Amino acid sequence: MLYRLYNSQDLEELYAIEDVCFEPPERFGRKYMGRLVGSPNGATWIAEQDGRMVGFAIVEWAQDAGEPIAYIETIEVLPAHRSHGAGSQLLTCIEDSARSANAGWIWLHVDAGNEGAIRLYEAHGYGCEGTEENYYAPGRAALIYAKRLDSETAA
């Protein structure tokens, strides 16, 4: 598996993965996705096998009381390629990008029913900081997970 940064020719293939991995209301719109991957304050990593994109992850960062704080927009791996470590490696890649942007913290929303993703974040040291009821839709809560980034291990 090859891990590399996004380039503008990747958008169509990347959005095809979004289409497979999420249904509305969680699926990002195409325009919104285009804005996310083009953000100057973020990084998008691609997982590629035999020249085909099989997953991606997007992180953004912003100033929060003087310290940049990073936010994971999404991590997605095509079903046929899951459980082989691609999600873990993509998570490591976006954490390294966030550290390089001097982010002290990284956080995310995850659907309270998304057991696979919750296991992935917990295995990487994320802790649950709270719940946002009705975040995805009425009756569909998000859990908030966060992790302190250790700047000494910055890539």
Ligand X SMILES: CC(C)(COP(=O)(O)OP(=O)(O)OC[C@H]1O[C@@H](n2cnc3c(N)ncnc32)[C@H](O)[C@@H]1OP(=O)(O)O)[C@@H](O)C(=O)NCCC(=O)NCCS
Neighbouring C-beta atoms of residue 117, cutoff 10 Å: 18
Contact map string, positions 120 to 139, toward ligand X, x by CB under 6 A: x--x----------------
Q: Are 9 and 67 in contact (CB under 8 A)?
A: no
- Per rule CB under 6 A, is residue 114 in the interface with ligand X? yes
- Per rule CB under 6 A, is residue 74 in the interface with ligand X? yes
- Verify cis geometry, omega within 30 degrees of 0, for the bond prior to 25: yes
- Per rule CB under 6 A, is residue 85 in the interface with ligand X? yes
Binders of ligand X among 13-32, rule CB under 6 A?
Answer: 21
Q: Are 66 and 74 in contact (CB under 8 A)?
A: no
- Per rule CB under 6 A, is residue 75 in the interface with ligand X? yes
- Per rule CB under 6 A, is residue 42 in the interface with ligand X? no
CA dist 90 and 41 (Å) reads 18
Residues that bind ligand X (CB under 6 A): 21, 74-77, 82-88, 110, 114, 116-117, 119-120, 123
